[in-house]
Chain A
């Protein structure tokens, strides 16, 4: 980074007429990429040869299923990351740890450095809330490539049949869940109840109720009255109007239940339209409605989840890696992935005629885009030991769903969380 900063300083006086970088500046370099087996990867990978031809850089790509992918990246970075150049990163999960460990390049130094830009890349085109979601501990951990927000999925046919209005508030959400529970063999609402996996989907309920993960002094906020209220609401929805066995449900189970026509509503990531509205995997395809996340006493506060491309600090080919990052996130490639139904992070491509012509579900597009401005990027507590803190709160969620006392269980989770956080200081 020092070298880079020095370079910036030298170039600043002439920045106005600075020659922009050429695509073939790093010809002959070989880049090693680690990618998650994700819809974005599937959509973009076929175009990689174009990049190789344009730049003369050879791409060595490895893709793995998500759990293995995360472990693989973690192991490589914790041992120096010298052989790794660019990789996919989920900042809400790993951002804090990677930033504080000094494992990733601070992309701020790249996006604002005109001498490192190729062509008209236009970073200002990215959604600000999505860009914000990559920033942890003062470091921009990566360049966003795709984004999801929490939204409400509902069964249009049932809402029509029983004349129920689409919920705009959390109070209406509970009323609708109550009204539809047991009708036509469905449960009122399906939500994740599986410990750690539930915490991220509890987050929008927490924010919309006016609470936060941590209090002003950086400790767990679980005894905050609004936090407890949100937890009571979330677990009450599941216990009273949710499926049996919710304590084993993460997103595959929730989306599967909904796709099998056994739930009237669920709230989860907007990306899951591809599962529940696809005739191949869903019996309710075509009957699915999409709405913005219901507002609570604290407003409408869904969360936004981002996948980003990051550069390894130990990499020897950072400049070439940055070329790849720019290419992968340029307007053309963002449009390409959006046309394959991967929610893009550039504002302009959503207005592109090619996308508008093929947009099968403008209702979903509206719900998704309307939320990006107010969405909160911290779907996980902003700590390094995300996994351990999620587990502590997850244990409380499972306990409450099994009939335990909310306040007692949250107090235990709070103590555990504070113990973990205090070690990080």
Chain B
């Protein structure tokens, strides 16, 4: 289409194309809005409605409107509080360590080295593995009777550990797997941040005689803030709602010692078939994750 014909069209009053021209900023996002509505907003609204009912999958079990009943029940459910506590415990162990290790890894990878491509590919391997496969392998390694981790502990002269069977140890053990799998993602984001930094400030610092620690503290660190917060937000949201590795490795056990909120909701939904209560639990999870994500973003603006 030539420029002239475009101009001609614009001059014509009325007609579909002129209407399109005037409202193009609404028309273009329309398909995206429709998809968002069908796949996210509608299910969310349905979830909110379900949360107000005591409902099961079968008509043989009760189904009635309970208003805020499911939410009140959750607040009085010791298992809900236990699950919420475990969710935060898991996140509090996994995410800070991931950030720290990820930063170290990114700084290492940022250096010039031989076979850089291969090293980077190897480091990123855990991240691209299927979580279920990762969980199965780790569960095998952590098996207290047949697993290889206890073999190493014994070789090192340490005593055997129960790993996932120990109610005190199960959350740190699961966090270990999460750290193994997701540290590379943090490293990747931070590495991208490091590589976009201009060389000039570093050259100037070198000329001024700054040590490498000073260069890191006063140049790298402030310039890395945006990447750090991006990685932190991503990992916080993901860690809070971790499901796959926990369900595969422990199903929330032993007992309910590793039953985080997401896992508990899965059990109330797919095993206990209490659809309404599950909807309420998941709404609460959504609120908690949203509050955390928004807080981190507020913090980022203040820093």
Contact = CB atoms under 8 A, between A and B. Distances in A.
Binding partners A and B? yes
Interface of A: 71, 74, 78, 97, 100-103, 194-196, 243-248, 253, 256-257, 260, 262, 384-385, 387-388, 391, 395, 398-399, 402, 423-424
Given A97-B58, A243-B145, A257-B146, A385 B272 contact: yes
B253 A384 contact: no
Contact of A245 (B144, B251, B256): B144
Contacts of A385: 61, 272-273
Interface in B244-303: 250-251, 253-256, 267, 270-274
B162 interface: yes
Given A244-B160, A385-B272, 10 more contacts: A78-B57, A245-B162, A245-B165, A248-B165, A248-B254, A253-B143, A385-B273, A387-B273, A388-B271, A395-B255
A224 B255 CA distance: 23
B208 interface: no
A399 B255 contact: yes
Contact of B255 (A245, A246, A262, A398): A398
A309 to B, nearest CB: 21
B256 A260 contact: no
Contacts of A391: 267, 271-272
A195 B253 contact: yes
Nearest to B249: A248
The 4 closest A-B CB pairs, nearest first, are A245-B165, A100-B60, A247-B254, A387-B271
A398 B57 CA distance: 28
B144 A395 contact: no
B200 interface: no
B8 interface: no
A398 B257 CA distance: 10
B67 interface: no
A102 B253 CA distance: 34
A244 B165 contact: yes
Contacts of A97: 58, 60, 273
A423 B60 CA distance: 10
A99 to B, nearest CB: 9
Contact of A402 (B57, B163, B250, B254): B254
Contact of B60 (A195, A260, A402, A424): A424
A424 B61 CA distance: 6
A385 B271 CA distance: 9
Contacts of A103: 58
B145 A257 contact: yes
A92 B255 CA distance: 23
B253 A398 contact: yes
Contacts of B219: none
Contacts of A402: 167, 254-255
Interface string B137-166: 000000111100000000000001011110
B199 interface: no
A55 B270 CA distance: 38
Contact of B146 (A74, A260, A388): A260
Interface in B61-99: 61-62
A244 B162 contact: yes
5 contacts: A78-B57, A243-B144, A244-B162, A388-B271, A398-B254
Contacts of A262: 145-146
A248 B58 contact: no
Contacts of B253: 194-195, 247-248, 398
Contacts of B270: 71
B255 A384 contact: no
Contacts of A384: 58, 60-61
A67 to B, nearest CB: 9
A388 B272 CA distance: 5
A209 B56 CA distance: 35
A98 to B, nearest CB: 8
Contacts of B146: 256-257, 260, 262
